[in-house]
Every structure is written in C-alpha cells, then in structure tokens.
Amino acid sequence: MHESLEEIEKFIISRVREIRESKGIRQEALSLSIGKNISFISQIEAPSKKSKYNIIHLNLIAKALECSPKDFWPEKAL
C-alpha cells in the first residue's frame, strides 16, 4: 500500500479485502453494490494509490458484505 497512508488506513483496507475475499466477492461487484464505479475498490486496494475509504464507504461496504463496520477496525489502537 502507498507509504503515505497511515497504519490504521492500511489496516482497514487490508481488513476489507480479507473479508471481501473470504466471501468470494470480486472488487468490481463490491464497487457496484455500493453505488461506485467499477474500479473504486481496486483503486483503494492498489498498493501504488493513495485512495482510502471514508466512514460512509465503510458503512456501505459493511451492508454489502453483511458484517459490522466494527469488523474492519483493529481491537486496539495502532
């Protein structure tokens, strides 16, 4: 992931990817299910990009993945 991202941002991006993959959902499908363009998730998950999620994105993604937004956060502060 892009080195300018904070550790918490990297953690959340990785956690979303992990949950998405465990449910067998492709980046494109998740992007479209939250009303974004087809490459939205891939741009955030790309190591060379500085893109990141905001809290609205995380809430929409949690709905789409049928989980809680809390599932994306670490148990303790980083």
How many Å apart are CA 69 and CA 16, to the nearest integer?
10
pLDDT surpasses 90 at 36: yes
What is the total count of domains within the chain? 1
The answer as to whether 74 is a domain residue is no
Res. 47 pLDDT band, cuts 50 70 90: confident
CA distances in angstroms from 66 to 16, 48, 63, listed in the order given: 12, 28, 5
CA 68 to chain centroid = 13
Among the listed residues 38, 15, 37, 25, the one whose alpha carbon sits nearest the alpha carbon of residue 64:
25
The boundaries of the domain holding residue 46 are 7-66
Residue range 12-18: mean pLDDT, rounded: 98
Q: Is the pTM of this model over 0.85?
A: yes
The answer as to whether 58 is a domain residue is yes
The answer as to whether 78 is a domain residue is no
The answer as to whether 32 is a domain residue is yes
**Residue 33: which CATH number?**
1.10.260.40
The answer as to whether 2 is a domain residue is no
